[in-house]
Amino acid sequence: MSFWEYVGTRHAQLLTDTYQHASVVFQCMVLATVLGVLIGVVTYGSEWAGGLATTSTATVLTIPSLALIGLLIPVVGLGVPPTVIALTLYGLLPVVRNAIVGLRGVDPALVDAAKGIGMSRTARLVRVELPLAWPPILTGIRVATQMLMGIAAIAAFASGPGLGNEIFRGIASLGSANSLNQVLAGTVGIVILALLFDAAYVLIGRLTISRGIRA
């Protein structure tokens, strides 16, 4: 059976796995973005705190994804929980690092001007600093998403959702008629999803970043 014939006969399952893969990556990136930006906001004003935040989130990336998921299984079980926890932790570093860099890069004169017209600390953060820091934050989100696309495939080891199940089934049945087709279908699906997500981020950037900042 050719690859395209395999895709045609298995399209329903492949679409389900693709949807689950995209869904878990998207949801984990939302969590990682919220947590990462919050950590950045809390720590960017201090060199020590910012360094600690960056080092702590970077340490997570030194743990092999298969090992981290394996360690989580006895604690939270199989399926979605270890997948969400692992992906969220892996997605933190690019967001935290870029949030700190972006917030520190805001022109102090603009912050002082906002303070001079009576803006509160929260108002300055929400209306001046975060919008100006948004381009590097978005770049961090894009980088993290590309990472999570591949790491999410490993979640199939813990019965997690997504295209990794197709890849693991193919690897487990190497030598059978459709083993290579299964691995290829899962891999191609992940690559296509990564490209689509990245295109969506480019569009978001054009819609949310003013021309003055982009220039």
pLDDT tops 80 at residue 212: no
* Residue 164, pLDDT score: 92
Q: For residue 59, what are its two tokens? A: 């340490």
pLDDT tops 70 at residue 206: yes
pLDDT tops 90 at residue 23: yes
CATH number for the domain whose boundaries are 3-214: 1.10.3720.10
- Straight-line distance from the first to the last Cα atom of the chain, in angstroms, rounded to the nearest whole number: 51
pLDDT digits (tens, 9 = 90+) for 155-199: 888 888 889 999 988 988 887 888 899 999 999 999 999 999 999
pLDDT digits (tens, 9 = 90+) for 36-67: 999 999 999 899 999 999 999 999 999 998 89
- What are the boundaries of each domain within the chain? 3-214
Which DSSP category does 215 fall into? -
pTM of the model: 0.89
Among 150, 117, 147, which Cα is nearest to 21's?
Answer: 150
* Residue 213, pLDDT score: 65
* Residue 214, pLDDT score: 58
* Residue 200, pLDDT score: 96
Rounded Cα–Cα distance for residues 106 and 131 (Å): 10
**Residue linked to tokens 């689509």:** 196
pLDDT digits (tens, 9 = 90+) for 110-160: 888 988 888 888 899 988 899 999 999 999 999 999 999 999 999 888 888
Residue 1 corresponds to which amino acid? M
